[in-house]
Each structure stands twice: as C-alpha cells, then as structure tokens.
C-alpha cells in the first residue's frame, strides 16, 4: 500500500566561521593597462557560482559592464587570501571586500579624470582605457579588506554574537511511502529561502536544486554502512546517490529582505538550502505512516523494521 504524507522543516543558519574566529576576506581591484578591470581574489569556485556573483558585485560597484570584468582567482601567487569556500561566506565576506576595493578604484578613476582632464563624470566606463594609458606599464590598483562581525560566546552567560549574518529557510515536502517495500519517494517540494538580496536569481535556484539533492540523499539514500570501522558501501553500486529521476519539481520562493551589512544586501546561501531537507522528509514520512524515524538515511530496511515494531505496538 502507498501512503502520502506532508512534512515541513525550517532552519536558521549563521554564515561565516563564527564565534569570534577571524573571518577576513581580501581583494584587489585593478585597472589594467588594456582598459579592463581585473579582480584578484582567493575565492575558490566549487560550482556555487562565485566567479559570476563576485564579478557582478565588482561591475555594479564600478558602474561598468559585466564584460569589462576579468576575474582572477585560485592562484595564490598573485591573489590575496579571501578565506575558504565554506560556511556560505564568499558572497557576503568576499563580496564586501570586492565592493570596497572596486569603490576605491572607481573613486580614484573619477579623481584622475577630474584632475588630469577636467572631466567631471560618474560614468567611467568610456574613459577606462584613457586613464589606463596615463600609468604606462603600471596598472592602477586598489585593495579591499572586510572582516565579519562576530564575537566569541561567553562560557558562563551564553551571551555573544557568534555569527553574522543569519539566513532563514523553510521546506515543505510531500512523500509517497510504499508500506510493502519500504521505499520512500519524494513527489513534491517547495522551498522558501531568505537570500538578503538576490544578485543572481538563477544561481540561487541552482543552489536550491543542488542543496535539495544533497538533502534527499542524506535523508533516504546515502548509507555508508559502517561496520567495525570499515565502510561496506564503498562504491556507487551499493552507495546510492540521487539521480535526476529521483528529483521532484521544486517550487522555489526567493525571499528578499536586504541585509544592511551585505554587498548590495546579499547573503550567502550555500549550506542553508540543504539543512532543512532531511528533517522535512522525516516529518512527511511520519505524517504518512505514523512512524517517527530517528536514524538516517531512511532505507527501506529501516523503515520496514520500524513499521513492524509499530504493528506489534512496542
């Protein structure tokens, strides 16, 4: 017999390293001798769209077209440290550092235009090559440093400001549970995600899809089967991960409440889109069959065992 259930889960997530740990990002904005804008930053692209988002922030701060930005990262010999691509911190932390460096570069270009050419303008794009030629072979560079505002928790009072900023999200998930086989299928999902401000909505939707896929595997599939310290499911024939066929359609609701300290109001959402998925699935399973699963992944074997225990009234 197949039974359907609906479950919800919400989460709040503190981005960045947190608890007073130094969370510093550095960036360099440069007007190259060819008239292009070069952004040097140690932000690592791991598929989250950092190169695109951070280039957009630079273009906005400078008031130039996106195509004028040359983004250089992942080369420690020429880029400043921007911290790790972890804790959903790059958009907020490194985005702020890039914004600061880009604004300083823009202001310097405006000053040069006014002092050297008597040109008073906020539109610098048409003059980039002209200003670049003034310095000959030497590029015009400005740096930006941003440190997230967090404090260590007081061990006695429990007070402090351990993270900044926080993001918030909620998932609603519908499942279909086959009580004969123990197989759980996620049939529908909706995600409401606070993003601060959506600099690139399509990339946010991609993050939600990726986070949901990870949460789906975490909740009902990915079992390493650790026995006596040895991983038994050590290959993809036994360690199952979600495929495109396992993914439901996800109704994505992007909630914008600009964060005053973020670059143009943006927050990072890399991990927050994952956290509430598995809890929502487990709540939906409970709603469908009345069994509260407390171990994940909810494999067919574990669910069938729990259903039998329920039947016996234990």
Q: Active-site positions?
A: 271
Compute the distance between CA of residue 257 and CA of residue 130 in angstroms, rounded to an integer: 40
Q: Which phi and psi (to 5°) does residue 207 adopt?
A: -65, -40
Q: What angle do CA 46, 48, 53 make, to 5 degrees?
A: 120
Q: What angle do CA 251, 256, 257 make, to 5 degrees?
A: 145
Contact 263, 202 (CB under 8 A): no
Compute the distance between CA of residue 92 and CA of residue 42 in angstroms, rounded to an integer: 14
Tell me the angle at which helices 277-289 and 300-312 cross, rounded to the nearest 10 degrees: 40
From the list 5, 7, 9, 4, the residue with the least C-alpha distance to 211 is 9
Task: Identify the bridge partners of residue 7 per DSSP, sorted by sequence position.
Answer: 173
Q: What angle do CA 151, 152, 153 make, to 5 degrees?
A: 115
Task: Identify the bridge partners of residue 69 per DSSP, sorted by sequence position.
Answer: 37
Dihedral angle over CA of 51, 57, 63, 66, nearest 10:
20
Compute the distance between CA of residue 272 and CA of residue 208 in angstroms, rounded to an integer: 9
């Amino acid at each position: 017999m197949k039974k359907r259930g609906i479950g919800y889960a919400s989460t709040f997530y503190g981005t960045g390293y947190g608890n007073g740990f130094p969370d510093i990002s550095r960036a360099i904005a440069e007007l190259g001798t060819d008239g292009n804008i070069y952004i040097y930053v140690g932000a690592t692209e791991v598929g989250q769209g950092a190169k695109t988002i951070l280039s957009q922030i630079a273009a906005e701060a400078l008031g130039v077209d996106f195509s004028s930005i040359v983004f250089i990262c992942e080369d420690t010999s020429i880029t400043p440290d921007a911290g790790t691509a972890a804790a959903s911190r790059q958009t907020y932390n490194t985005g702020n550092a890039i914004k600061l460096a880009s604004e300083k570069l823009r202001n310097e270009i405006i000053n040069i235009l006014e002092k050297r050419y008597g040109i008073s303008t906020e539109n610098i794009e048409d003059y980039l090559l002209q200003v670049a030629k003034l310095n000959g072979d030497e590029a015009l560079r400005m740096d930006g440093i941003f440190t997230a505002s967090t404090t260590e928790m007081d061990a006695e009072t429990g007070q402090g400001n351990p993270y900044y900023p926080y993001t918030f999200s909620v998932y609603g998930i519908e499942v279909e549970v086959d009580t004969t086989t123990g197989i759980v299928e996620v049939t529908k999902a909706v995600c409401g995600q606070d993003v601060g401000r959506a600099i690139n909505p399509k990339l946010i939707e991609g993050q939600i899809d990726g986070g949901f896929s990870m949460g789906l595997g975490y909740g009902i599939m990915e079992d390493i089967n650790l026995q006596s310290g040895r991983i038994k499911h050590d290959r993809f024939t036994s360690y199952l991960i979600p495929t495109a066929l396992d993914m439901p359609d996800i109704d994505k609701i992007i909630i914008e409440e600009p964060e005053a300290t973020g670059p143009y109001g943006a927050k990072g959402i890399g991990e927050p889109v994952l956290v509430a998925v598995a809890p929502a699935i487990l709540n939906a399973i409970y709603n469908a069959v009345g069994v509260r699963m407390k171990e994940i992944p909810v494999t067919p074997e574990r669910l069938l065992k729990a259903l039998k225990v329920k039947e016996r009234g234990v």
